Amino acid sequence: MTGSRGGVEPVDDDRYRVRFGKPIEAEVALMYFGFYPDVRLFWKDGRVVSVVAPSRIYEQILADFAGDDSDSPDASERINRAVLDDQE
């Protein structure tokens, strides 16, 4: 059985979904994403598996996690790594 891969995908013209490589604990998800307005957390078995954010908020999330490298194609991977590392 293979594990799920994290990543980013457009939901529609104005929203993006950030999927986590493995589900994250509720307190970690709330610490990282709870203060962003209009962000929805998606849960499975008591853990967060993805977040959906409007494009303007998604851009802010990338900037917060990627620093000066927000245009880097692996920025979503850094979001996953930062969140998952903080959970261990």
The tens digit of pLDDT for each residue in 17-69 reads 988 888 888 888 888 888 889 999 999 999 999 999 998 888 888 777 765 55
86's torsion region: left (phi>0), alpha (psi -120 to 50) or beta?
alpha
Boundaries of every domain in the chain: 7-87
* pTM (two decimals): 0.69
Who contacts 43 (Cβ-Cβ below 8 Å, separation ≥6)?
Answer: 26, 49
pLDDT of residue 85: 64
